[in-house]
Amino acid sequence: MAATISQGTPVGFIGLGVMGAAMARNLLKAGFKVTVHNRSHGKVETLVRDGAADGGSPAGVARASDVVLLCVPDTPDVERVLFGEDGVVHGVKPDAVVIDCSTIAATATVEFARRLKERGVHMLDSPVSGGPKGAQDGTLSCMIGGEAALVERCMPVFQAIGKTFTHVGGNGAGQACKSCNQLVIVGTMMAIAEAFALARKMNIDPYKVREALLGGSAQSFVLQNHGKRLLDGTLQPGFRANLMLKDIKLALEAGRDTGAFMPVTALGVQFFAALCNSERAGLDNAALGLLFEELSGIKR
């Protein structure tokens, strides 16, 4: 393997959305030499003002970096960034590492890792959880798939963006774990939306219900955060509903591929599809509760 990764190692970041921009900024704060790229150049300019370099393209980022991180929306986006015209493979160094922090299909991840390995490039899949605040604070949970020795080598990079690091297994295992994460979140969100709708129908203050539930066994991060956003109506996107629909579809596809019984996930796909079809695709995924309210005949 190449030299040890440490502060000062040239690192690239492709995909500067809400999550990616914050992660790239934390890599800068940790002392890494960061080169960035994004489809909309305004976000690149912001990071350049913070000290990053403009890679100009995925290939340009790869040429400047020993480690390249990606955080883009979906499986086709990852494939395009890696293997498309002016993609990472056209500039990547031998023995470099690609860390994909996107949430995509596990089966595709295995194939991407194989294709990169043929070129002498290593890959880890590391989807993250913790939302925009976790990305900003550098406290993300990283679910990592790939070789154990490579994970250990890349720990300085992970420590710059996250707080919890779980090596789940080989390539694709991180993505499989993220599907498990998302289906638990969606199932919990459906239960919270239903509980709040029931409270309103029974003329009980849902804020009081939330307060009571937070003090008992129903307490969860989702109730604490998503539940409050729903009640307050502060639904500007941290994580958009259409992205959650994409994620929960990935979980359902994994279930179909493996023969797992996934009724909660299947119902989640239906509800998020309905939410996105009601012109709320761009709202935060906590807006799912609005659909439950409407179907319960509740008007705000």
Whether 178 is catalytic is yes
Strand partners, 33: 10
Query: Token pair of 10, please?
Result: 């040239």
In terms of Cα–Cα distance, which of 284, 291, 283 is closest to 267? 291
CA proximity to 232, closest of 250, 256, 206, 263: 206
What CA–CA distances, in Å, run from 205 to 62, 208, 224, 287?
A: 54, 5, 16, 19
**H or E segment to which residue 181 belongs:** helix 173-201
CA angle 247, 60, 22 (to 5 degrees): 45
Tokens of 228: 């409050």
**What percent helix, strand, coil does the chain show, rounded to 5?**
55, 15, 30
Closest CA to 185 of 133, 120, 253, 243: 243
Question: Shortest CA distance to 65 belongs to which of 14, 111, 127, 114?
Answer: 14
The active-site residue out of 43, 117, 163, 178 is 178
d(CA 93, CA 288) in angstroms, rounded, equals 44
Picking from 55, 225, 49, the residue whose alpha carbon sits closest to that of residue 131 is 225
3-class secondary-structure state, position 171: coil
**Residue 129 to residue 204: CA distance in whole angstroms:** 33
Q: Are strands 162-169 and 140-145 parallel, antiparallel or unpaired?
A: parallel
Helices (runs of H) and strands (runs of E) counted in the chain = 14, 9
Please identify which residue in the block is written with the tokens 């690149």.
44
Could you list the active site residues? 178
